[in-house]
A and B are shown apart, each in its own frame.
Chain A
């Protein structure tokens, strides 16, 4: 149903699309779908940029509040050239990856245990749910008292942030494998192991993947928060440093990199997720 509506609005927007074939028509279609949205998207910066330029040129606002566009550009180039940006980004990425791997391992095992065994679920889930109510961000001061402000703190916080959605979605995915599928397994006289490998896991994979996607997003947010609190390197540190020195250009560059990495990982995971959902039978 959703796709029908989107097609409807697409027609409304682009006018009746006559189905044409041939080279020219293909180029026209490519131009409309691939290039025109970009051109529209550029209108806003095209209006904003001259205002920014004029504002900083005539000093409408102090430079700490609104730096010159050339300065931001210059800072970006300088940080790229000196390898500073690459180093900080690399450190942040390494932290996210190590925290995420640990969180994934914990989340998958916890979720699988809760999903497969009713008894484990009864014992563990209330406590887990209670802990999950408190956002990972809120735990930071407590974690700082217990773990200090070193690398352990960062990795643990990222792991915790990633673990929670992964565990919840893994549990839900296993629980919601349609009963009919399990019955098919029974008919084939599958052993418990075969049922797990051939029925439950494939059925749960889309949900598990959704959990991984949320987990990675949360891990990324957690990284920025811990780096804001206590860090001497990394993208979050760049933000804090830039703020302390009132170097708005550094702050902006760090924000852009954080946004870009968020965008790239999110898009990538969305594509993989769609791919994984494709085989699903809507019978449940």
Chain B
């Protein structure tokens, strides 16, 4: 079985042809039925109309500015949430007292479906940019806290004994033993955080009074019943999520050479 650089399977030519059959067939069906008048074009706009809308949005620069706004929201929330998450995770992992007091509560918070936080956050922080970033940060923080904690807990006793032999002080122990040993787990947390923070960005843009951003574009499209705009926005949302996930995979692969199998 052929593998590419990141270890995933290289598709066989037959598989590629077969894989294209269904999507192309569906697109053809779509095109034919939207022209035949079988369906209301409002529900099923012809493909060229979607393409024109895509080009218009892109050429006017609106799409790009919406995309950048969404990404900035996503990444600021991600940065704040993961920074906070790693710090809290370390604290819980290294201090048995904090661990006993707070860990059950973080495990409990994890159970609340992410979107259910939106009403509470919008009561406390309003609907503007700050509230959205707080929500994204919350989404990013929870998996990072739990995975950092897990990584530290699983630090091998043998490695800790080596630290004892070297008479490491507490700071050295954290920097040279705990952190490297917990790194794979922390990176898993960061990866999850990247996925969740994008999900939270979409949620924030959908549910906290539409502003700018790709999510806002979709909501505006829905309100004006512009199917092409809605489709376009959803495709972009999916693509961004996909690219972020791939990027995280690649980084993880780069940063933990010993984790490659």
Contacts and interface: CB of A to CB of B under 8 A. Distances in A.
Interface stretch (B60-68, B169-177, B234-242, B247-255): B234-242
A133 B124 CA distance: 32
A246 interface: yes
Nearest to B119: A243
A135 B19 contact: no
B220 to A, nearest CB: 10
Interface string B92-118: 000010001110110011011111111
Nearest to B214: A138
Given A44-B105, A229-B207, A255-B120, A262 B153 contact: no
Contacts of A37: 100, 104
B52 interface: no
Interface in B164-211: 198-199, 202-203, 206-207
Contact of B19 (A41, A123, A266): A123
Given A135-B241, A141-B230, A246-B123, A146 B43 contact: yes
A71 B236 CA distance: 44
A240 interface: yes
B112 A221 contact: no
A284 interface: no
B154 A137 contact: no
A157 interface: no
Interface of B: 14-15, 18-23, 26, 43, 96, 100-102, 104-105, 108-109, 111-120, 122-124, 153-157, 198-199, 202-203, 206-207, 218-219, 221-222, 225, 227, 230-231, 233-235, 237-239, 241-242
B122 A243 contact: yes
A252 to B, nearest CB: 7
A112 interface: no
Nearest to B44: A146
Given A8-B157, A146-B43, A258 B113 contact: yes
Given A44-B101, A137-B199, A144-B222, A240 B238 contact: no
A235 B158 CA distance: 49
Given A124-B22, A259-B112, A263-B111, A242 B119 contact: yes
Contact of A44 (B43, B102, B225, B241): B102
Contacts of A224: 113, 115-116
A5 interface: yes
A263 to B, nearest CB: 4
Main secondary structure of the interface of B (DSSP, over half): helix
Nearest to A254: B116
Interface of A: 2, 5-6, 8-9, 13, 37, 40-41, 43-44, 64-65, 119, 122-127, 130, 133-135, 137-142, 144-146, 220-221, 223-225, 228-229, 236, 239-240, 242-243, 246, 248, 251-252, 254-255, 258-260, 262-263, 266
6 contacts: A126-B22, A141-B222, A221-B113, A252-B120, A255-B112, A263-B111
Contacts of A141: 206, 218-219, 221-222, 230, 233-234
Contacts of A134: 234-235, 237-238, 241
Contacts of B113: 220-221, 223-224, 258, 262
Given A139-B234, A258-B113, A263-B108, A243 B123 contact: yes
A262 B111 CA distance: 5
